[in-house]
């Protein structure tokens, strides 16, 4: 049933790359505050090494993951096999947010297809790799990626994305600072 692994080996990295969706969970420090779990898609997760993964963070209605990672670094990514043999993989670790103003941003963002509305890259130092059976995860057929977020970001344009981030992504639901790197000339955010 459940197993832990010393690292992400090539076979597991290949399995991760084949999944169409993953989930990111974080929580603020302390005992209070809202726990967050967000689904992600659009080919936005990369295995960068045996203990390193990153995902492209796109502008959305909130910025809980960014706020929580900046608060305490704790993060877990979960992937489920919705086709083929049943499997659930969890990657626990310590995350860091690489903002467009960070000198490393181009290097990490370059691992992904350029997408309008890109907000940051979340880099994760994986401290625990595990899998479990996934026997209760339903079988589902992948039809296509949704293009709604891309169309929304393209319609807003770079300056509209920055305005949206200022209004909706500056803090978490619990008031923790989130997207706080925006500058008056829009920097490189919302590409």
**Which tens digit of pLDDT belongs to each residue from 47-90?**
999 999 999 999 999 999 999 999 999 999 999 999 999 999 99
- CA angle 78/84/88 to nearest 5° reads 20
| Mean pLDDT score across all residues of the chain | 94
Give pLDDT tens digits for 15-36: 999 999 999 999 999 888 999 9
CB 28 within 8 A of CB 177: no
Share of the chain above pLDDT 70, in %: 95
- The burial class, CB within 10 Å (0-12 / 13-18 / 19+), for 47 is buried
Inform me whether the pLDDT recorded for 12 exceeds 50: yes
Compute the distance between CA of residue 169 and CA of residue 117 in angstroms, rounded to an integer: 12
In the structure encoding, which two tokens stand for residue 154, read together? Answer: 């393209």
List helix spans (H) across the chain.
10-18, 64-72, 105-109, 148-168
Residue 186: the pLDDT is 41
Yes or no: domain 3-168 corresponds to CATH 2.30.110.10: yes
Q: So what's the pLDDT on residue 1? A: 65
- Give 143-166 pLDDT, tens digit per residue: 999 999 999 999 999 999 999 999
pLDDT at 184 over 80: no
Q: How many CB atoms lie within 10 A of CB 151?
A: 11
- The band of 110, judged by pLDDT with boundaries at 50, 70 and 90, is very high
Q: What are phi and psi of 157, to 5 degrees?
A: 75, 165
Asked if residue 2 has pLDDT above 80, the reply is yes
The phi, psi pair for 97, rounded to 5°, reads -100, 125
* pTM over 0.85, yes/no: yes
Q: What is the pLDDT of residue 190?
A: 44
For residues 43 and 184, the answer to whether their CB atoms sit within 8 Å is: no
């Amino acid at each position: 049933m459940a197993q832990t692994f010393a690292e992400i080996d090539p076979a597991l990295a290949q399995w991760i790359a084949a999944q169409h969706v993953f989930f990111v969970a974080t929580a603020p420090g302390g005992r209070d505050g809202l726990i967050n779990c967000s689904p992600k898609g659009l080919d936005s997760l990369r295995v960068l090494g045996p203990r390193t993964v990153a995902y492209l963070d796109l502008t959305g209605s909130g910025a809980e993951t960014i706020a929580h990672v900046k608060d305490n670094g704790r993060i877990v990514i979960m992937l489920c096999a919705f086709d083929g043999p049943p499997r659930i993989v969890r990657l626990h670790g310590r995350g860091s947010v690489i903002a467009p103003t960070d000198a490393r941003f181009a290097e990490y963002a370059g691992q992904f297809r350029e997408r309008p509305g890109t907000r940051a890259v979340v880099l994760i130092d994986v401290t625990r790799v595990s899998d479990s059976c996934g026997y209760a995860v339903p079988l589902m057929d992948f039809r296509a990626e949704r293009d709604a977020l891309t169309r929304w970001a393209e319609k807003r344009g770079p300056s509209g994305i920055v305005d949206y981030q200022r209004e909706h992504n500056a803090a978490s639901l619990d008031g923790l600072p989130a997207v706080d790197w925006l500058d008056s000339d829009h920097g490189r955010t919302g590409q």
